[in-house]
Amino acid sequence: MLKENEQLDDLQIKGLRIIQDSTRFKFGTDAVLLSNYAKLKPGGRCIDLGTGTGIIPLLLNAKNNVSEIIGLEIQEELCEMAARSIELNEGLAEGIKIVHGDIRQVDRLFTACSFSNVVSNPPYMKDGSGFQSEDQSIAMSRHEIKCTIDDIAKAASYLLNDKGVFTLVHRPNRLVDVLSALRANSLEPKTIRFVHPYAGKAPNLFLVNSVKNSKPFLKVEEPLIIRKSDGSYTDEIFKIYGIDRE
């Protein structure tokens, strides 16, 4: 099932594996943290906006009891790769579906208010800012070329039912943009957790849960520290990754 430049990676949970292309954008810690932070409603439906290789639907399926998880992706090549990963993992085809489509046109693909959870690990950088890869696929994964945070918040609000939950990971320098976009689309931020590479270092990510049509109240949770001073993972990260250190 592997093509040129592709590799098969073990996700170290329930025997799951994923296909990745060494020349394209590969999933990182942010995807793993997002899938752990998102608490899906039992028996509900979830959609991952900008699913890429399908890593988040795979991890969410392993950790939650839901009826269906959909991965929406605009890049046709990544859709095809993600679909092969789903097929590769026996028994997942009924619970996970990969859909090729544009986040900005979700109303043409799905019924309004038809999901209990929406998640997204979106492009972090504004189009034209910072270094932009010449590889269009990588550039689209990192920069807001095909969708902005406002587009994503609008799509999430359309898709969620009343009191549905949108879980997002992003960078702290975009915090105001993210929270503004959420509230403007009736998604009230309820919990936020900042992720720090080391204790005493500034955060490089944050995770946020917002609820559709909810009253204002934001809880700032305790920081999530990735590594100890010696460079090894903290106990919480080992637990999130499901790594047995014994």
- Supply the pLDDT for residue 14: 77
Whether 11 is in a domain gets the answer yes
Tell me the backbone φ, ψ of residue 187, rounded to 5 degrees: -110, 100
Res 149: pLDDT: 97
The reported pLDDT for the residue numbered 143 is 73
The answer to whether 48 and 168 are in contact (CB under 8 A) is no
Integer Cα distance of 205 and 37 in angstroms: 13
Residue by residue, DSSP assigns 97-146 as EEEE--GGGGGGTS-TT-EEEEEE----B-TTSS---SSHHHHHHHB-SS
Cα–Cα distance, 165 to 167 (Å, whole number): 6
The boundaries of the domain holding residue 181 are 6-241
> Tens of pLDDT along 73-115?
999 999 999 999 999 887 777 799 999 999 999 999 999 999 9
Length of the chain: 246
Report yes or no on 246 lying in a domain: no
Domain membership of residue 211 (yes or no) is: yes
* 194 falls within a domain: yes
Whether residue 1 lies inside any domain: the answer is no
- Indicate the number of domains in the chain: 1
Structural domain includes residue 52: yes
pTM, entire model: 0.92
In a domain, 84, yes or no: yes
Which positions of the chain have pLDDT values less than 50?
Answer: none
Domain harbouring 49, CATH code: 3.40.50.150
Distance CA 44, CA 64 (A): 10
pLDDT at res. 89: 87
| Portion of the chain with pLDDT greater than 70, in percent | 95
Is 199 part of any domain? yes
Query: What pLDDT is stored for residue 246 in this prediction?
Result: 54
